[in-house]
Structure 1
Amino acid sequence: MSQSFIELGPGYSDFFEFEELIHYNHERIRSVVALHTTLEQEPKTSILVIMNPTRQGHFQGIYSTFESLPYPYPVSNKRFDFIREWAGRYELPFLEYEIKAIHYFHERELFYNYLTGVLRLQRQLPPLS
C-alpha cells in the first residue's frame, strides 16, 4: 500500500478545501486529526484528514496542513472550531495528539517518516505489509 501526505497550504482558501473534502468524501474518511506542538514558544496546530485506502491501487491519502492554526487551548479559535464541527457533522472520529514541531527535522521527508510512525502507533494508519 502506498501512503502519501497531500499538503494543503496555510491560507483560508486551502482551509476551506478541508470543508469540501470532508463534505464530499466523508464516507471515505477514516479520521480527522489535530496535531499540537505544545512544547514550542508559540504552540501551533496541524490538521490531517486521513482517508481510507482506495479499493484499486491501494493508495491512502493523508490531506494535511501543518502548523497553520493557533493552538486552541485554553482559548479556542474559529478555524479549529470549524474543523471539529465538520467532523462532528458526519460523525467522523476527531483525534488529538501532541507531536514535535517540523523545525526539529532537517528534511521534510524525515518529518513525514516520524509522523507516519506516530500515526501507526495510534492505529490511524495500517502497517505496510
Structure 2
Amino acid sequence: MLQQYFIELGEGYGDIYELMELMKTNSQRLHRTFIFSSNTKSGQAISLAAAFHPAQDSNFMPIYICREGITQKDESKSKRRLLFEEASVELGKEPIFIGLKHSSEFADTKLFYQYITGILRLNHLVPPLQ
C-alpha cells in the first residue's frame, strides 16, 4: 500500500537550502514540488514542499516540507521562495501552487498533514491510497 508521509525540515533559511539539496541529489526520484499558501492576519504563510517517488521497492512516498516558514505581506515573492521555484524549474518540475487552511486551525499537525494529503490525492497530484 503506497502511503505519503510528510517529513518536516524546519522553517528557517537553511532548511530551504536543505530541501533544494534533497531535490537535486534525488532528482531521479523527484515527483512534484509544491508551494502551499495560507492566509493569516499578517499576510500569507508560505510552505515549500517536494514529493519523491518511493525508494526501490518501498511503499513510502516522502513529502519533505518547510512548513509556514515564509511570510508575505504583499504580492512580492521572498528570496527563499524564488530560490525554491528556480531549483524546481531547473529540475523540470514547475511548482504547483495550492491555497490551504493554516496549520493553526487544526488541533494537531497530523490532522493538518492528513488534510493536505487528501487535497493532493483528490487533485491527482500524488498517487491514491492503494
Which piece of structure 1 moves more, 66-75 or 104-113?
A: 66-75
Q: Percent identity?
A: 29
1:67 aligns to what?
68
The count of aligned residue pairs is: 128
The verdict on how the C-alpha distance between 1:22 and 1:72 changes in structure 2, with shifts beyond 3 A counting, is farther
TM-score, normalised relative to structure 1? 0.92
1:113 aligns to what?
114
2:16 aligns to what?
15
- Could you say which structure has the higher strand fraction? 2
The structure 1 segments of at least 4 consecutive aligned residues displaced by more than 6 Å after TM superposition are none
The verdict on how the C-alpha distance between 1:97 and 1:89 changes in structure 2, with shifts beyond 3 A counting, is same
2:41 aligns to what?
41
Q: Which amino acid aligns with 1:41?
A: K
Q: Distance in 2 between matches of 1:73 and 1:55?
A: 42
Q: Distance in 2 between matches of 1:19 and 1:113?
A: 24
TM-score, normalised relative to structure 2? 0.91
Aligned-pair Cα RMSD in Å: 1.4
Structure 2 unaligned regions, length at least 5: none
